[in-house]
Amino acid sequence: MEPIPNIKSENIPLTEERIVGGKYKVDALLGKGGMGDVYRATNIENGMVVAVKTIREELNSPDLRDRLKIEAQTAGKLEHPYIQQVIDYIETPANDGNMESVYVMKDIMGKPLNQVHLSLDKKVDVLLQVAQGLDYANSKKVLHRDLKPGNFLVANESSGHQEDFFGCLSDFGVTHSSEFLEVNDDTLYGTPPYMSREHAKGEQIPGDTEAADFALAVFKSLTDRTIVEFSEDTTIHTPIEIIGYMAELNHLPPKAEEALKAKFKYSGEQVIDVFNKALADPKNPYKHFKDPYSNATKFMLDLRDALTTELNASNRYSAVTK
């Protein structure tokens, strides 16, 4: 049996005590992100341990706070075993005297997938669970908008799970109800290398599914590189340039296909087909790929089938050569 990895999140002790929202005592820094910092905290009223995310001061405008409040209320309605639930939203005085937005989330004591070493089959299991959480959110008309390996948590402690370790979709801090998506909004939320075509264009996402965005994040999880890094155009560097590239992407670039063939020598072609289907554009088909996946779980099931072929073939080869 594969040993259970140590995937408890690390605590970075703070030098001074801090109380957020009048009841959350901040215990340790868990990590830093593009939107703000995440801390472990304790509710001094009931002892519950939570994760608290504060929004960076330079981003914290009144308009953004109004938007974040609505989005926190939307995300707070999501209850799923593979989603890190938002349980509170607070506006509290910041160091500069202005108000600060604070998300309070269930603390699952986990680490981002990109910081955990897992075998291929276990990694696929975790990603499938994350996909199920994402599909649940999308089915409720909620778009995550920042899917990336850093937001896929792996944990091995939870009273609600029987698995040795499990995957969990986190950081709904930039989520949005698709019913209220402003298609012509000048502000694009997310991380450019993981933006699907419609996301990068700021368009309505067909079928309210983020399967394509999820596939881009899974590609990174499997190869340790983003798809844009395999582009034939070596002049793509800035966020704006990356967004422009992603807005036209409807299939894997040749170098990305070569990388998958090299990594998965028994099932490379199958894996390539799964990713090309995920990125398919009905308006501009690539080869026979014109109908993209309708949800992330279907994408992961096909990918698991392809990778199971890889694992089985690899195991047979190892047995023969022993």
Active site residues: 146
Element (H, E) at 3: none
| Contacting residues for 309 by C-beta, under 8 A, at least 6 apart | 266, 267, 270
Report the C-alpha gap between 311 and 320 in whole angstroms.
14
* Dihedral sign from CA coordinates of 197, 199, 205, 208: positive
Give how far Cα 142 sits from Cα of 200, 205, 241, Å: 18, 11, 27
Give how far Cα 155 sits from Cα of 6, 83, 108, Å: 9, 12, 7
| Contacting residues for 117 by C-beta, under 8 A, at least 6 apart | 5
| The pair of three-digit structure tokens given for residue 150, joined into one six-digit string | 């850093």
Q: Indicate the SS3 state at residue 268.
A: helix
Residues 170, 147 contacting (CB under 8 angstroms): no
Nearest of 234, 206, 208, 230 to residue 290 by alpha carbon:
206
* Pairing relationship of beta strands 99-106 and 86-93 according to DSSP bridges: antiparallel
Report the C-alpha gap between 87 and 138 in whole angstroms.
19
